[in-house]
Amino acid sequence: MVSIRAGAGCGAGLRTLVVIGAGVQPGGFVSSFYQLEFERPVIEIEREIDEVRRSLGRQGLRSAQPVVVSPVPETPGPSQEQLEVRLAELEQKREAALAEVYRELDPWQTVRVARHPARPQTRDFIGAFCRDFCELHGDRRFGDDPAMVTGFARIGSLKCLVVGHQKGRDTQEKLACHFGCAHPEGYRKALLKMQLAEKFGLPIVTFVDTPGAYPGLGAEQRGQAEAIAVNMREMSRLRTPIVSIVIGEGGSGGALGIAVADRVAMLQYAWYSVISPEGCAAILWKQANEQTNQAAARALKLTARDNLSLGIIDSIIPEPVGAAHRDPALTARNLERWIVDALGELRQIDPEVLVQRRYERFRRLGQVLEAGVEAR
């Protein structure tokens, strides 16, 4: 067992990931040995499934080899038919256990799922349903930022601009992408490409997946806050349809820097908030531990269901049973369908009306009712 301490919110505390026999599988996804403590009932069943599959594989190898008479008779094990029946039973049991575990995740558990290392990221979705992707680099001021991906593509039959945070898969890519925490040049790159999309009359699709904007000295010296603020101002004025989806973590201004859109959605087990639970706990209780993190996550109202009830997002995109990391392909199909439908609707609206509605939408955020009187 290996304990890895990793940045949870780019300056907002630390989180501990427990990995057993961690490794990267073909296709770039981290192995299923990564464990969440509330998934333990499912993990035990999956281990049994792996054992049965290995037994089936050994039987297949034996049946393909020539028969050799052994002087010592072997103890007969389960037949192939018995193993296949057992495998089907275990898979049904796993589906039921997953449904039970994920039926009522608490907010802190949802945050843990959103951070799963095998959860699909921006480049995974680009590879899944964005055809003819042509990546664009650089902000024409300072440089490029691997944490922000931009490029033209086709989604369905629509040409569009795709923008999204990228956390990285292996250690080298994660370090290059700063774990999804974009620098000012990343936000300026995104805005430059969005203005190009407006010029060409192309809609914009953004994928949000960041614990927050990078808080380092260099980023601050190059104007991190100004870059995000300008992005929000200019995105509110773009005369082209914009849709934004929180696919994992939606942390504070780092998320809003590419999320001023006409339609905003979240994947079912994503989170979206002004601060990470660890950051909130460190500020309020001067320490970030399991107990304070849970309390902060509840108070922040950061789940997709909470954001929908508060009017911050428009839709929740369903994930497969057991979350997106268990079936990235189905997640991608659900996401593509929502994007195509949303853009199809928005393209029918006059650009002037789009801009006005977008502005009004974000001006309404944070309004509450106190004693029957509207307060802003």
CATH at residue 185: 3.90.226.10
Question: pLDDT tens, 101-148?
Answer: 888 889 999 999 999 999 999 999 999 999 999 999 998 989 899 999
221 shares its domain with 249: yes
Same domain, 120 and 100: no
- Token pair 């993190």 is found at 293
**Do 214 and 346 sit in the same domain of this protein?**
yes
| Residues 236-245 pLDDT 10s | 999 999 999 9
User: Which residues span the domain enclosing 182?
Assistant: 113-375
The residues near 277 (Cβ < 8 Å, ≥ 6 apart) are 107, 108, 111, 288, 293, 294, 296, 297, 300, 302
- Categorize the per-residue pLDDT at 28 as very low, low, confident or very high, splitting at 50, 70 and 90: very low
Q: Is the pLDDT of residue 15 over 50?
A: no
191 and 250 in a single domain? The answer is yes
Same domain, 33 and 158: no
Mean pLDDT calculated for residue range 147-174: 94
DSSP-derived secondary structure letter, 30: B
Q: Are residues 204 and 334 in the same domain?
A: yes
Statement to judge: residues 200 and 279 lie in one domain: yes
Considering its fold, how many domains does the chain have in total? 2
**pLDDT score of 27:** 37
292 and 183 in a common domain: yes
DSSP state of 61: H
For residues 82 and 230, what is the distance between their CA atoms, to the nearest angstrom?
A: 64
What values do phi and psi take at 172, rounded to 5?
-60, -45
Q: Is 286 buried (19+), middle (13-18) or exposed (0-12) by CB count in 10 A? A: exposed
Q: What is the pLDDT of residues 303-356, one digit of tens each?
A: 999 999 999 999 999 999 889 998 999 999 999 999 999 999 999 999 999 999
pLDDT band, very low/low/confident/very high, at 371 (cuts 50, 70, 90): low
Same domain, yes or no, for 288 and 150? yes
Query: Each residue of 45-84: pLDDT tens digit?
Result: 888 888 888 887 776 554 544 544 555 555 555 677 777 8
Q: Are residues 283 and 156 in the same domain?
A: yes
122 and 54, same structural domain?
A: no
Same-domain check for residues 152 and 265: yes
